[in-house]
Structure 1
């Protein structure tokens, strides 16, 4: 560890361990690059603008830790964030570590313009909140499984191919959000999609959450061969457009009540159960 007169801290030693409870890292431009660095101090605070954490396999396990440095960079492959109640509120933070794991229950990600691009990253903390406007999730194969997770950032972008959203009761309310990840999966029961003008364009999307609610006005579903199979789901957005070729809508008791809704999928199948018999519509033109 070296410290300059300008309080810029550099930690490059492999296997460094930071375990003091309530440790505070406030030096702007601090750099933590040692592989296998471990941060376990409960209530640690990282507030230095431009903090860089690039150590591969780093572990952040301090409960209640706070990361507030604007433009902070978290790029360590395989990094682990497991501190319950951790807070990430730095604007324009970048999370690019491949295979990173975020499992802290109640963690908060509120940095506007933050970018999550770690391939295969895992977000499993129950009650995790993503509220940063313009947050971008682009990591292919990322997994979002936290029960009750909340995604409320306006104009958020979910483009990771094969991403998985399985958190029961998850809420996606960001107006103008974009879901374009091919073969993404949304399976959380009771999930709510209410962001006005949201766009779902990923080929092969799967929506299987029982009791899911789609109420956004003017939403667009254009994913080729998308599948909507959640029993009792409700689609009530006025002016919604379903244009995905070969899409399948098979949920029993589903309700489609959007005013001026448009269903134009070529070869799409609608199999709503009516009086114990199946009523199927196949559009072909």
Structure 2
């Protein structure tokens, strides 16, 4: 499969995270532990070389573990359009932090892009806060925190990722780290919810099977497609194709949950995505073959 088709297929699968979050009735850490475990098993079956651990896998996997958990929590509390708009504000933070963390040169144009993006985020948040209850407010916070983890993931991977590394082993390492963190989260979760001991979670076999299938598809197939395609696409191509992801997510919200975004949400999302595209076009070298993971 050609690299652009691989990339678009991966983006389309990732766009279904909101449906996974809402349709599979399992506690978030348990849901993600099963999904990432299934993804790891898929990669292990496909691996042709012995697993060689790299330190960056632990760092990136830890950030991605936080990112997925926050995104799941956001999707369960707010509409898809708001969640995906705030999550995709991550590159705006990259614009502001790249000179400090990645050593990129400061650019006035990048600062202006960041200001415009932050204003769009504020408008989207303001539109939701005006009618918000406790769940909506917490959902907005989770989505904003997921933007931070997305930005950290982009910055860390730009700094640590080595070109030419085995794609299957890379994804396998990420999934193992993710799964381990979610097992830890399963132990900590009851204390966060004020419960004594391990919670009495009602678990249906159908939900477990659905989570396994989601893991094979998303954390296995989609991540492999994404990372494989990323090695053959330049940053401009990746940025433009990535814009399909948020649009697909909003479309899924409209089709499956009758969540039609209003004009403010659409305008805010467009500005945020335009800012992200401007970041990719100007801040990443065209020859750079990245291994960024897009949620």
Q: Which one has a larger percent helix, Structure 1 or Structure 2?
A: 2
Bigger relative contact order, structure 1 or 2, given CA contacts below 8 A and separation 6+? 2
Tell me if TM exceeds 0.5. no
Q: Which has the larger radius of gyration?
A: 1
TM-score bin, normalised by smaller chain = under 0.3
| TM-score, scaled relative to structure 2 | 0.17
| TM-score, scaled relative to structure 1 | 0.17
